[in-house]
Structure 1
């Protein structure tokens, strides 16, 4: 669909219909990505060592390093959405070009730094012997492939800002398909083990990342970027940074918080770390729909605030809450009785099944909270008030979850369950804080007036 027609749809058609239309492709894409994660975990788990624990251990570090790219791409999507909503297509195109060039520069810099620091980081996290070797190998290869990952971030951000979630779904499916085929080849046929899993991922992302960005310069593309749009413009980059730095900081501190969380999990033993890793893979199936709703809501809020339609933006939030809650509760009720069986698909270790099952059951009981968190985050990102989003991300982990884990872990009766209880409690409290911010109404002010005067339609 042409982005002008999509803009008209986002601004005029029934809000519930618009949210579902935008969210379904994201849900499908998330399902595809989740399928990849589960498949990757399955193949890596069949190697027979501690490879799953190694990946789980270093993933927060990788996420920490890419958080700047994630934050900047979110900022780009917000600006593009609000400029399109206001009718300023030329500025939307300019922001799109700057997102691509800026993220590529960031990826190269972060990749080089991360690659050189990998051994020290993994050792600091407490990994030793084979866990250290496997974690270091995986993390180094993933750092080398950051440019490919960041190009996909840029493409997805540009498309999200336009209200096109179908193209990212298609390219995401192709990437996952390539990766699923390459995984067993690299891991087993070429006998590369955990290094093969990382190389398969990077190769798949590189191929699709280059192709997806190349399509943005096609005459068939809705904005039709030109090469000169990629020439760095510090004025435009500063606009992106203004919104992106709070998002990046929130993402970075969240990633660092999960890194510290993994350090606590290592202290409980590799069994608990593996149970957490597998449990999160399965839990992603439950939260997948609400992540799609949050993503769709961000675009709807952004374009409607750009068009000065605050009432419609508020209505979108209300509809999102209803859809998300119904979906999450239904999914949790279906999966709850099969918690242990779901964990046992990926491991035959009875201790991992026991702890992973406990984790899943507790998380499912608090399913609506995960939806509220995604909706609030999507609202604040779409409106461009990324400081509020940063508060949610940082407050949940650093202000609540980690201190709770420290306190509960000193109570012998809790043990590894202290992590699971702290997660639920922190989700509840931060959602209360988020709704408090929401009802102040400060998020309703669009940000593009603060950046540049909007052209008349």
Structure 2
């Protein structure tokens, strides 16, 4: 832990960014592998089963957002406090963050289970997809509290430098999920329910791997029930950083639901094709998100320590790395679009729609790397209003109006190109705000 804090404070910036972000990237990749693996095995059950998992995907995104809300918000705030040598307050934030995560995720779990049918209808389930979507989600929702806690802990341990632990927990859960999926789906003949059961068990194991870090006394910060505080002093700083990140996931949940709703009239094949592309694109998005979380901890720590030179240098480096990675991914996804979509299905219509959707989502994907780093920078240098606005852009402020307009004008093609159009508008807004702040010569 001390080595990582020293690395953030005065070590090589490139090495620090890699050390902080790589385990998080791997951890988040593993989360996407849960859904990717489920989809691959479920695809063997037919197009309707694959479409059902696409319908449920927004709910998975929502609970991921809860974990990121408290995990990232608490982690960034703890990093700032550690940078300012305030260990006592850091422990209060740690205990309170875990409590908030448990309470909110459990409340959300109960609400979804009570209103599961209307919720599934609302997010795009057709008559043919509803029974399978309900069968899958009714079990999967039971793991939400474990998933939210796992993601929160994954980020919280990273705040004090224990970045490898978060990676190990996610890898352990993912490997187990890959092993259990075919066993429960095909060997035990549980079908789509088997995929959900395998995920629940894997999420519990991921959490179990993380908890001993604090119980065994290995952690720098200690957890105590006595440190739990429900106060504005602790909640506000967590929400300032965590809420925009949660908003991104909440809006992503809404945007995927809108895509399902507007795609449904074109058939279950269209829902399945667009759903496949959502899963494919989520993998590089998680890479960028994981890197930006490592960058976030680095920037938050050095901003708290008033080391502005390291903030500026790390920002320039992070922008180059993120945009470069996204350009490479864009090329790969366009060139190998047919092969990627065909991993999930042999249905020719699904493949045809999937190829079109993957091309549309790839041509401007390079902008996502730029957006992510600038948003995290603004949130970390106390430009929360600007950061919050931009965080709402890609999946909300620009996406939602376009989701209603483009399908009416261009049919299924309009649905497919909504995200690309939203990315272009969000990037223009990000460029304007970022250069406006630089022009003001603010000393970030």
Judge conservation of contact 2:96–2:229 (CA < 8 Å) in 1.
Answer: yes
The residue number in structure 2 matching 1:89 is 87
The residue number in structure 2 matching 1:455 is none
Q: 230, 235, 239: which is aligned to 1:238?
A: 235
Relative to 1, partners in 2 of residues 1:30 and 1:106: Cα closer, same or farther, differing over 3 Å?
A: closer
Judge conservation of contact 1:41–1:346 (CA < 8 Å) in 2.
Answer: yes
Write the distance in 1 (CA, Å) between the matches of 2:30 and 2:64. 21
Secondary structure of 1:425's counterpart equals helix
Aligned length: 441
Shift of 1:396: 2.4
Secondary structure of 2:218's counterpart equals coil
For residues 438-457 of structure 1, what are the structure 2 equivalents within 5 Å? 438-439=434-435, 440=437
Is 1:155 the counterpart of 2:153? The answer is yes
Judge conservation of contact 1:186–1:192 (CA < 8 Å) in 2.
Answer: yes
The residue number in structure 1 matching 2:223 is 225
Q: 178, 181, 189: which is aligned to 2:179?
A: 181
Relative to 1, partners in 2 of residues 1:443 and 1:103: Cα closer, same or farther, differing over 3 Å?
A: farther
Is 1:29 the counterpart of 2:15? The answer is no
Shift of 1:114: 1.1
Provide, for residues 330-384 of structure 1, a one-character-per-residue CA deviation record: whole Å limited to 9, x for no partner. Answer: 3333443221111111100111111211222233322311211221233244446
Judge conservation of contact 1:297–1:382 (CA < 8 Å) in 2.
Answer: no
The residue number in structure 1 matching 2:358 is 360
Write the distance in 2 (CA, Å) between the matches of 1:314 and 1:221. 30
The residue number in structure 2 matching 1:70 is 68
Write the distance in 2 (CA, Å) between the matches of 1:249 and 1:29. 21
Write the distance in 2 (CA, Å) between the matches of 1:30 and 1:444. 33
The residue number in structure 2 matching 1:395 is 393
Write the distance in 2 (CA, Å) between the matches of 1:290 and 1:189. 36
Judge conservation of contact 2:184–2:194 (CA < 8 Å) in 1.
Answer: yes
Structure 2, gaps ≥5 residues long: none
Q: 423, 432, 436: which is aligned to 1:436?
A: 432
What is the alpha-carbon root mean square deviation over aligned residues?
2.5
Q: 334, 337, 354: which is aligned to 2:335?
A: 337
Is 1:426 the counterpart of 2:428? The answer is no
Is 1:311 the counterpart of 2:309? The answer is yes
Write the distance in 1 (CA, Å) between the matches of 2:294 and 2:64. 22
Secondary structure of 2:346's counterpart equals coil
For residues 255-334 of structure 1, what are the structure 2 equivalents within 5 Å? 255-334=253-332
What is the TM-score with the length of structure 1 in the denominator? 0.88
The residue number in structure 2 matching 1:196 is 194
What is the TM-score with the length of structure 2 in the denominator? 0.91
Shift of 1:183: 1.0
Secondary structure of 2:4's counterpart equals helix
Judge conservation of contact 1:102–1:237 (CA < 8 Å) in 2.
Answer: no
Q: 18, 38, 44: which is aligned to 1:20?
A: 18
For residues 133-148 of structure 1, what are the structure 2 equivalents within 5 Å? 133-148=131-146
Q: 57, 60, 64: which is aligned to 2:58?
A: 60
Judge conservation of contact 2:341–2:355 (CA < 8 Å) in 1.
Answer: yes
Judge conservation of contact 2:149–2:207 (CA < 8 Å) in 1.
Answer: yes
Judge conservation of contact 1:151–1:213 (CA < 8 Å) in 2.
Answer: no
Provide, for residues 202-235 of structure 1, a one-character-per-residue CA deviation record: whole Å limited to 9, x for no partner. Answer: 1111122133123222222232334533x44435
Write the distance in 2 (CA, Å) between the matches of 1:172 and 1:443. 41
The residue number in structure 1 matching 2:412 is 416
Shift of 1:71: 1.6
Write the distance in 2 (CA, Å) between the matches of 1:384 and 1:417. 40
Judge conservation of contact 2:327–2:366 (CA < 8 Å) in 1.
Answer: yes
Is 1:38 the counterpart of 2:36? The answer is yes
Relative to 1, partners in 2 of residues 1:140 and 1:160: Cα closer, same or farther, differing over 3 Å?
A: same
Write the distance in 1 (CA, Å) between the matches of 2:41 and 2:106. 29
Provide, for residues 1-59 of structure 1, a one-character-per-residue CA deviation record: whole Å limited to 9, x for no partner. Answer: x2x32122112123222212222223333443444433221111111251221121122
Judge conservation of contact 1:383–1:444 (CA < 8 Å) in 2.
Answer: no
Shift of 1:323: 1.0
Shift of 1:176: 0.5
Judge conservation of contact 2:247–2:391 (CA < 8 Å) in 1.
Answer: no
Write the distance in 2 (CA, Å) between the matches of 1:313 and 1:151. 30
Relative to 1, partners in 2 of residues 1:309 and 1:32: Cα closer, same or farther, differing over 3 Å?
A: same
